[in-house]
Structure 1
């Protein structure tokens, strides 16, 4: 009777913890961030890693010109996971964040403010304008710094680098000086991509391609001097989407291997502006397209010729009678194809790279100046002076048609280069610019050699960047802007040659260290030229450097100038677009000044799309901001999204994906919570040596050893998606659905002093210690919260730890093999019990006592096993006897069969097992009786 008065629930050792099930991350994370700042976690970690092997991830600088978007969050979180995980390997992984503060993106924002006020930026004193740019960048730098830190990114936020710092500007100028002095920097006139709206040359990385509708023309070039009688009296026909380039035409290109036809137009459709009886020459493969586009309904083929026979032919310009009376020679061009057009290419050396190379470089034809910086055709040109190259193409086409120079006018929508900042279309324009030669000093060869020695993640990035370097033209360094580091060059007015005097350049650099780059614009030339040169003999260059040269030089004023970093960096990590941006310019800058790459490895990630795979845009209403996700879900959810994604490719995000991340997060959190509850009151005195461990605990320790090795390897290879998968499998499959389930009875009901229970808690302590360390780089806030719930010492942050060494005895291949077979058997048993539950035969698995038929070899494994505990039943029998015909089986597992049976006996009021030694209602079993007493 006494036994029944006891409340056995109070005698069960249930888990206890204050670690809450509900995370409340939006409120909890800022408090954790504040605690890190209070203990100065960054500097504590630097001190802890002093003297350790360095790991340097060099931060690619974002522009300080607005709030962070989801792409920023992806990039910075991935960098933080890299750094924190390398730190967990015991390395000194110092992270110095940086910002790009010069160039068009910021200058354009200031110009927008002027335009709204109806003011002209060019009327503002340059010093005043540059200060506004500097203030603008400084404001957004502060905003972005706070937002990056809210993401959990740990770094030297008190001492970041910026390209607009005086020391940075001076170093950038010094780096330019190295290229100036060695002779690889030159001023040349050639076509570059130009923005008429922004009035400046643009780098390739500042260009994006969007659909654009262009006016097209079929223009006639009458043959003046025929290389073959077949084309006498004929006109060569070209097709182009840029009528505005016709004033700059100086040649025609044909393909040596292309077959051409001379045809007579005999009948024309209504509305065609061609003329009957015209003799025209086009590619045979494009004849059908040509007659359809021009409106030719009937024609006669007069002659057929090979392209090579056109060598030496000279044509007249379509507007020869209207001021364009120069000869138009024909040259063979390898770039000519029969994919579209007529098989001939109109060649304007001032408006295209291939045009420039063929006409000017190969054949020495001068490059005419035809387009001003504002996109208007220059005043000296007949007919079209003052017309705009983007707005007046229909008018240009119509004027040419009126004069017989065009036989068809159309329109085509196609992919066309636009400025990534103004979103306006671009043009190729011939201008005088400053270039770094890719060939004169072997820059191309040096860069290609450096790439062959660089590790790429994913490996395909190496081929992509190598192809870009192999094909790229000389590097254009000059920009016609106001905000940035100037090209600190003086040019001799007589010779046109730049002044190469190291003493002069040193004076410029030293002045910049004290006063910043503004001194170039505000100082008298005497200050820099000194007594050796007459000021009147030299012209000061006022262009600014390509902003990619600024960021490409960061290795010089960050990696090389700071004692806590080193060069080359172990890793550069940015989006895949930086193959043509920062990776590219950094490689060229370092190879041109140091003969090597500034990095040992390059990792690229994809872009962020919405859940349907669409680019995010305000017009679609599918923009998701990191600020909103942190406000509603927490930064750890974002961090989990990054590592759980295949970030080598484009990533998707949306409400459903965020919810899935929340579910994944909950699995990790619940695992940590269960471990904390199970370890309530545990201390080192309770630990059990490996020799006294049950077999299941040894299996767990072997799994920890396996995971440790995998995580270390994946960390070195930056495979964080693999680490996520490994940890998710551990928490979900190995622990929650297996080990925790099996050991609940032992943990809750066994004698606290029993070796078996102490072994279980010892292993759980090992799991907790390692799991919090493994999760710390990913769920940096949650790992800290869980760690502090156990250690209770804010000074002892989880992020000051490193991965614990694994005792050699934990690695046990026999245990792994044995438990692989056991888990397969258990899988069949658990499915059989679920089937019995669905059939209404049992409610709880503790009501069952299954008979498990397995092979003789596997039966030996179960000889010393507590099979009932393994299957979470009250009793179980494992036998190698043949299974009856009706036994439960699973497809694909032929050597395990289960016969269902109910357990005999009474239900223990404490452990709820059904056992023969429970003989009274409300009574308890012998094991529980011993524990309670």
Structure 2
């Protein structure tokens, strides 16, 4: 009977394509997940399990997603999916930050483009437009996040502008008010003239900026001996702050001297005969900048000689008649400048602190301690800057105004200039308008960092630092970074002079300063309830509606007239810092505190920071148990991405060209804790890695075609199959441990290495002959198919959190179903019995010998001695240990040759060796016999099997079995 032997070979068969076609496949899978209600199925499947909550840090709803969003949301998705598959109830609830400048600024831009004036629009009408703008972008970003493969409660996200959220944000602030932690004060704040509001540190970024620098003389008043007629010299990069000067700071750690100029050009600002008090370490640089030709040091000036002294303001006689005291300050150094710091308490944090620290002493000396308001909201000098009123520091376009030059000219006319220059340095800019900010003293609302909280014996700072110590950080360095920020944080400025946000919903008595709600207000609970009820029903717009003062405060005070309603809105960081209160505490499918917060490292000064302080102030601990941070994404060459450089990578482009799984593979392959890079070549590398991974999965699916999944007892398996199960046991520990500590790159590296090296290049290579050519009833084939099935199940589920689309496609190819999903699976239980370290150690020796044989055969193939390894039957000289390792094994099967001879005899000198494998040498030899038409092995028996003269005995038995089964 004639047999077509090709049809009897069990070649892989699968509909799982080699080319992924992810850009078209992925949207179909997203639609499938929507159709089967995957999110609801996940929640149902997880009922009763331990809750795991990653609380989503809210992005701003004001534009398309960028690569940082893709990185962040993918990492979050991998965390939540992996925790679900580890056996938790891991519910992801996405959220958006909808208030504040990012959205208000966009709406104002639209107003300006259409010639409209925001100030002429009723505030609640303007707020309604901001709400509509945010709603539009929430919808857009929601779809973009879903396209990334992020699974969560997209039908019920949280929004900071939701009415209930606004009610709870306001209620959270009232808790600070009731305990006396909220206060109205006057301090220098970072102020954006362009945006007309105070800014928090988290809203600042630093860019190069060229400043005017000046050295200025402050004549010492009442000096004697060497100090008579001497002047203290200061250096500043902000000449416009000189009208706000009220003191000069010095340090007792610095050595000072009196220097007299003995030679200077005619007409020079620094003139012959002038006596200048300078830090010794800086005197030479100052004289050089002042173009002084010669000078002498007259005497030491000890710190005690400076304490208590006063100077005249350099513009004395022009409205600046006050004394300028010399004050000791810890912030003064002799690294640059003059060793003295011009101190304008209305324009700098250090200046303000020094002024306040010495306030009692200054008042006792009869010095006026009032801090002037020299610059208004629009950047203009006020009447408290005599001689400069109307001059502008920064314009509404963020450009340098005329104030600097006006001040410099006035100082030069007064004869108090010593030198001037320019300095290019890093200067704070608003991260939204990208324009420079100024420091100015304004009335704002603050939360105390160091005041005792309601008599409980601790402060907000102390609570926050304790909470940091109790929090786990990934990477660990994040703990010190957040700690240093909290240690140095001034009182929290929570007010903004804008329109779109949650109001600071308190009333202030203009006559007494009392707050309602406040520690001394009798109607706290009633007022708080009214505010919360109104905001829940109508949103925060209720605060700005006509008659709101009477509505909220009426009947709670005898006279409404002295009470003013605060119209400032809350810093949006207070909004986002309160999300734990209106999300974690309000949803029954979540819990408080969260297991983890995950954001970029910039959020140490942002969301991690504000959430910590808000929660510690109201609940005494952090709202999270652990914090994960990731770095920033740079271009391929390590430079920052920018439109001008043309090196931006947009997630939408990558998804459209290659698919979201390629982008996700890049995310999980990186060391996300550090800054990472992306670009065409890096994405190509990830695509190549993905292609190999996909082909490995495809081979498993093809090989398992028709496999019934029948179990094979471990004891009946060949050693090679037991070795693969041992490797799965090793990987199971690595995968689970790594997912638990959020180390995804370790998993990816291990699984890709395993699939490429252990499987494709070794196990599958060796076992192809068995699964293709053995009879279906062959114990060895049955064992191999069972192991391939276990390999497929483990690998596809382990990879599912990272590559949700590809693994879903593969799972459905193996387990077709109308409503099943790989994402409904748990990571498979790997029996402890699979672990066999002794077997693994033995097979290390086996594989080392194989490596040498493979090297020898490659050389023979290159020399055209053989065309295929199956034409070979090498003689392999091994040690006694290696010979023992091969006992009971088919060496030819492992080498993928038609025969093999192992011997412990000494090897000839010309034998092939590898330097890194001792005791193994290979002498190539050709296999005897003819080539089997079915399995291609070259064996002496081919041609001698009756009825099957062109195949070997093994293949003949397999064919006869198949013919018998067919009959």
Q: Does 1:152 align with 2:149?
A: yes
Distance 2:411 2:535 in 1: 53
- After superposition, residues 429-828 of structure 1 pair within 5 angstroms as 429-440=440-451, 441=453, 442-499=459-516, 500=518, 501-524=524-547, 525-533=549-557, 534-685=559-710, 687-828=711-852
Question: C-alpha displacement at 1:149, in angstroms?
Answer: 0.3
Secondary structure of 1:262's partner?
A: strand
Match of 1:924 in 2: 951
1:607-646 Cα shifts (integer Å, max 9, x gaps) = 1111011111111111111111110000000110000001
Measure how far apart 1:523 and its partner are.
Answer: 4.2
Which deviates more from structure 2 when the two are superposed, residues 671-680 or residues 263-272?
Answer: 263-272
In 2, distance between residues paired with 1:848 and 1:271?
99
- CA–CA separation in structure 2 for the residues paired with 1:316 and 1:836: 95
Aligned: 1:92 with 2:116:
no
Aligned 1:85-484 pairs, distance under 5 A? 85-226=82-223, 229-269=225-265, 272-364=268-360, 365-390=369-394, 391-392=401-402, 393-440=404-451, 441=453, 442-484=459-501
SS of residue matched to 1:252: strand
Name the stretch that deviates more: 894-903 or 9-18. Answer: 894-903
State the Cα deviation string for residues 140-178 of structure 1 (Å, max 9, x = none).
000000000000000000000000000000000110111
1:559 and 1:883 map into 2 onto residues whose CA distance is 72
Point out the more displaced range, 367-376 or 93-102.
Answer: 367-376
Which secondary structure does the structure 2 equivalent of 1:321 belong to?
Answer: coil
Within 1, Cα distance between the matches of 2:707 and 2:481? 55
Q: Give the 3-state SS of the residue equivalent to 2:433 in structure 1.
A: coil
Q: Cα gap change, 1:763/1:269 in structure 2, threshold over 3 Å: closer, same or farther?
A: farther
Q: What's the secondary structure of 1:600's corresponding residue?
A: strand
By how many angstroms is 1:328 displaced?
A: 0.5
**What is the DSSP-based 3-state SS (H/G/I as helix, E as strand, rest coil) of the residue aligned with 2:752?**
helix
Distance in 1 (CA, whole Å) between partners of 2:391 and 2:589 is 57
Q: Quick check: 1:249–1:348 contact (8 Å CA) kept in 2?
A: yes
CA distance in 2, matches of 1:429, 1:572: 34
Question: d(CA) in 2 for partners of 1:553 and 1:239?
Answer: 43
Contact 1:257 1:308 in 2 (8 A): no
State how far apart, in whole Å, the 2-side matches of 1:296 and 1:830 are: 81
Equivalent runs, 1:858-877 vs 2, <5 Å: 858-877=882-901
In structure 2, the CA distance between the partners of 1:271 and 1:879, relative to structure 1 (3 Å rule), is: farther
Check the 8 A contact 2:218/2:232 in 1, yes or no. Answer: yes
The residue number in structure 2 matching 1:62 is: 59
Deviation at 1:356, TM superposition (A): 0.6
- Match of residue 10 from structure 1: 7
* Segment of structure 1 superposing worse, 877-886 or 199-208: 877-886
Q: Deviations over 1:870-924 (max 9, x none)?
A: 0111111222222222221111221222221111111111111111112489821
Question: Deviation of residue 234 (structure 1)?
Answer: 0.7
How has the CA–CA distance of structure 1 residues 270 and 138 changed in structure 2, closer, same or farther, with 3 Å as cutoff? farther
Divergent runs of 4+, >6 A: none
Distance, in Å, in 2 between the alignment partners of 1:731 and 1:514 is 57
C-alpha change, 1:818 and 1:279, in structure 2 (3 Å) is same
In terms of mean alpha carbon deviation, does 183-192 or 834-843 score higher? 834-843
Normalised by the size of structure 1, how large is the TM-score? 0.98
Residues 183 and 446, structure 2, Cα contact 8 Å, conserved in 1: yes
Query: Which stretch of structure 1 is more off in the superposition, 595-604 or 363-372?
Result: 363-372
* 1:809-848 mapped onto 2 (5 Å cutoff): 809-848=833-872
Change (3 A) 1:345 1:829: same
Deviation at 1:301, TM superposition (A): 1.8
For the 8 Å contact 1:308–1:332, the answer to whether it is kept is no
Q: Is the 8 A contact 1:360 1:366 kept in 2?
A: no
Q: Which moved more, 1:353-362 or 1:783-792?
A: 353-362
Q: Is the 8 A contact 2:388 2:406 kept in 1?
A: no
Contact 1:701 1:810 in 2 (8 A): yes
CA RMSD of aligned residues (A): 1.3
Give 3-state SS (helix, strand or coil) of 2:884's partner. Answer: helix
Find the aligned partners of 1:173 and 1:523 in 2 and give their Cα distance: 19
Check whether the contact 2:279–2:338 (CA below 8 A) recurs between aligned residues. yes
Q: Structure 1 residue 225: deviation in Å?
A: 2.7
- Determine the C-alpha separation between the residues in 2 that align with 1:692 and 1:536: 92
Aligned positions, number: 928
Tell me which moved more, 338-347 or 875-884.
Answer: 875-884
SS of equivalent to 1:570: strand
The residue that corresponds to 2:363 in the other structure is none
Give 5+ residue unaligned stretches, structure 1: none
Give the Cα separation in 1 of the matches to 2:420 and 2:13: 82
Question: Contact conserved, 1:446 with 1:595, CA < 8 A, in 2?
Answer: yes
Q: Which residue of 2 aligns with 1:888?
A: 912
Contact persistence 2:373–2:384 (CA under 8 A): no
Q: Per the alignment, in what secondary structure is the counterpart of residue 473 of structure 1?
A: coil
**How many Å apart are 1:362 and its aligned residue?**
2.9
Aligned-partner SS, 2:293 = strand
Distance 2:127 2:247 in 1: 44
2:51 is paired with a residue whose SS is: coil
Deviations 1:203-230 (A, max 9, x none): 110000000001111111000033x632
Q: 1:849 aligns with which of 873, 886, 897?
A: 873
Counterpart secondary structure, 1:170: helix
Distance in 2, Cα, partners of 1:897 & 1:288: 76
Within 2, Cα distance between the matches of 1:40 and 1:135?
Answer: 29
- Tell me if the contact between 2:53 and 2:594 (Cα under 8 Å) persists in the aligned partners: yes
Within 2, Cα distance between the matches of 1:477 and 1:881? 84
Q: Distance in 2 between matches of 1:547 and 1:102?
A: 6
What is the Cα deviation at residue 491 of structure 1? 0.3
**Matched residue of 2:928: which SS?**
coil
Deviation at 1:271, TM superposition (A): 7.5
CA–CA separation in structure 1 for the residues paired with 2:317 and 2:168 = 56
Q: Deviations over 1:274-331 (max 9, x none)?
A: 2222111111111221122111121122222233431111100010021111100101
Question: 2:598 touches 2:628 (CA, 8 Å); kept in 1?
Answer: yes
Return the alpha-carbon distance in structure 2 between the equivalents of residues 239 and 117 of structure 1. 46
1:17-53 deviation per Cα after TM superposition (whole angstroms, max 9, x unaligned):
0000000000000001100000000001100000101
2:192–2:430: 8 Å Cα contact kept in structure 1? yes
CA distance in 2, matches of 1:347, 1:839: 84
Partner SS for 2:90: coil
Mapped to 1, the partners of 2:425 and 2:666 lie a distance apart of 36
Q: How far 1:122 moved relative to its partner?
A: 1.9
In structure 1, C-alpha distance between the alignment counterparts of 2:841 and 2:266, rounded to whole Å: 84
